[in-house]
Structure 1
């Protein structure tokens, strides 16, 4: 693998982890989004990643798609809420805060690892150029 190949593969990791961070941040921002019971709850977003290229080609990773969580959400009894139905219920998204925080940490670490690979490959390339100049 060439230095540029390493940078290209690491950049695919950066892209996937950035999209994962975006999805988790959307989920965290909407964890307390309230809807009336006659509407769908906010649907959590989950990034589906897969290997890029063919079965023998190691070209990094890519986003295969985005899956949405349950639109049913969870019903919470809050009779004083302005959106509550006649029974006193409102609809919240079915998002587990602790799971989302764990996902956030994993996505951040993956992004940091890919960034480190890019930096090391860049340093290797610069060293190779300086050797060529001497």
Structure 2
């Protein structure tokens, strides 16, 4: 592992967690987005992370490998007063569970904070190492 590998690994973790936070925020922002029954519902986005592998077989952090999307079918809700309602009075909402999204938000936030703490500790360690030979 190189001298500054901890910064790179923790930085890649912060990037993945930031993208996870973005996906959760987007899902939460669209949880009440209604569409007509002839259209697809908003599809929740879930981030897929994968490990990076360096040439020496050493771990090199993580990256976003892609995204998985939720069901476009959503859930039908009876709202005859909604302007988007069909002739039977139904509109389509995304099938997103707010409590699950809040749990994911907390996990992503804590993961981001943990990686930020690693960056801070590594920076402090490297700064201290530079001052050892000065005295």
Same fold per TM (> 0.5)? yes
Query: In the alignment, which residue of structure 2 is the partner of 1:111?
Result: 112
Q: Can you list the C-alpha shifts for 1:74-124, whole angstroms capped at 9, x where unaligned?
A: 000111111100000000001000000000000000000000000000000
3-state SS in 2 of match to 1:32: coil
2:48 counterpart residue number: 48
Query: Could you say what secondary structure the match of 1:38 adopts?
Result: coil
Aligned residues: 134
- SS of residue in 2 equivalent to 1:121: helix
TM-fit CA distance, 1:53: 1.6
Question: How far apart, in 1, do the equivalents of 2:104 and 2:3 lie?
Answer: 30
The alpha-carbon deviation at position 2 of structure 1 amounts to 4.2
Structure 1: state its 5+ residue gaps: none
Question: Given the two structures, how large is their TM-score scaled by the length of structure 2?
Answer: 0.95
SS at match of 2:53: coil
Match of 2:10 in 1: 10
State the distance in 2 between where 1:24 and 1:130 align.
Answer: 42
Alpha-carbon shift at residue 132 of structure 1 (Å):
2.2
4+ aligned runs moved over 3 Å, structure 1: none
Q: Distance in 2 between matches of 1:111 and 1:5?
A: 18
Work out the CA distance in 2 between the residues paired with 1:42 and 1:3: 45
| Alignment root-mean-square deviation, CA | 1.2
Q: Given that residues 3 and 124 in structure 1 are in contact (C-alpha distance below 8 angstroms), is that contact kept between their aligned partners in structure 2?
A: no
1:98 aligns to 2:127 (yes or no): no
